[in-house]
Amino acid sequence: MSRILIVDDEPSIRITLSAFLKSEGYDVHSVPDALKALEFLKEHPVDILVTDIIMPGMTGIELIDKLRKFQKEVRVIIMTGEPTVETAVTAVQNGASDYLAKPIRKEDFLRVVRNTAQTKALMDEKKDLEERNIEYQRNLEYMVASRTHALHKAMESIITLLSQVVEFRDPYTAGHQRRVGNLAASIAEKLNLSNEQTELIRIIGYIHDIGKITIPSEILSKPGKLSRAEFELLKGHSYSGYEMLSRVDLPPLIAEAIYQHHERFDGSGYPRALANSQIMVEAHILMVADVVEAMMSHRPYRPSLGRDVALLEIKEKSGRLYRPDVVNACLDLFKNGYEIDDEAHEVMIPV
């Protein structure tokens, strides 16, 4: 039930109005002046304040003004013995929700209090709902964020696993995919591709040779040159990688870029002899990163060919085997001190 404070300097009014309200079940308190009212209200919040206007010390209007500074939601009913339009306007301007002229009839008083109490209850309910809604939104945001994080972590471990699977079978290229992924991401960054695209390119690099798990390990670990037949078999890894990744729920361009990573700018690559704009930018970047990293790496059958030889290779074949802007971005990177990066960076898959 609503809690009400009555403020009036006339004891008979306080007693009568309190009795009316108590008989209706309200929780009623009364005080003789505005100062006592403020003291009471600081300790005991109420739903409704019923106050006289003209009282010794402080008027009812001043009381409302002071009260609003620490209790904004209290509904106020003003009573006065001088019912003029001006008094009513001032009362409403000061935040009174209703107005009663003295002498006050019991029925009018109870009707006004009842209406005010209902309005207050509705306002409280609205406020409560708003607060609960804010709390719910906050929880929801937290839940979505933590689920998304968990999903990212799961995806990340799948990428790491896929990357390691090939390296178990093909130890000579251990770390190759990681280094290619990092270099490809740096080239993408240099080409001002979006962060999302750059991170996808890193992922593509980390798993671009996944199709090699379908290639016999004697071929993968064979030192020296492969026979023509063996090389034909090895070439199948682009398509195998594409096929494997097409079946999982990852952005489709990952599979497609892997399918294209041995194509060449002039159409001399494999498996589909795509050229120029038929090849997606992700694959153009990957093929440059792939060849540079491979030439700079030590292999059991040859030492590293070195940075300069690798960079000369892409420079000489720029516009023929490799897309010129990608080659330039890669050359620029190394000119500015880029070092081959063997670290496994965290990857973010858009989910």
List residues binding Fe ion (CB under 5 A): 209
Nearest by Cα to 334 from 234, 116, 187, 193 = 187
3-class state of residue 271 by DSSP: coil
209 vs 282, beta carbon nearer Fe ion: 209
Nearest by Cα to 330 from 342, 314, 306, 345 = 314
209 vs 293, beta carbon nearer Fe ion: 209
Beta bridge partners of 77: 50, 98
In angstroms, give the least distance from the CB of 346 to Fe ion.
24
In angstroms, give the least distance from the CB of 166 to Fe ion.
10
> In this structure, what token pair is assigned to residue 177?
């995919």
In angstroms, give the least distance from the CB of 154 to Fe ion.
26
Which amino acid, one-letter code, is at 41? L
Question: Taking the mean position of all CA atoms in its chain, how far away is CA 236?
Answer: 41
275 vs 294, beta carbon nearer Fe ion: 294
DSSP 47: S
60 vs 205, beta carbon nearer Fe ion: 205
99 vs 259, beta carbon nearer Fe ion: 259
In angstroms, give the least distance from the CB of 232 to Fe ion.
14
Cα separation, 331 vs 86, whole angstroms: 84
209 vs 263, beta carbon nearer Fe ion: 209
In angstroms, give the least distance from the CB of 227 to Fe ion.
18
Which amino acid, one-letter code, is at 322? Y
Interhelix angle for 281-296 vs 252-259, to 10°? 50
17 vs 184, beta carbon nearer Fe ion: 184
Cα separation, 285 vs 276, whole angstroms: 12
51 vs 260, beta carbon nearer Fe ion: 260
Beta carbons within 10 angstroms of residue 215's beta carbon = 20
Q: What order do you get walking across the sheet with 3-7 strand by strand?
A: 27-31, 3-7, 48-52, 75-80, 98-101
In angstroms, give the least distance from the CB of 140 to Fe ion.
44
Q: Which residue is nearest to Fe ion (CB)?
A: 209
In angstroms, give the least distance from the CB of 253 to Fe ion.
17
Q: In Å, what is the CA distance from 216 to each residue of 59, 120, 209, 223, 297?
A: 97, 79, 14, 14, 23
DSSP 320: T
CA angle at 199 for the pair 193 and 205, rounded to the nearest 5°: 105
Beta bridge partners of 7: 31, 51
Cα separation, 87 vs 101, whole angstroms: 10
In angstroms, give the least distance from the CB of 130 to Fe ion.
58
In angstroms, give the least distance from the CB of 133 to Fe ion.
53
Cα separation, 183 vs 176, whole angstroms: 11
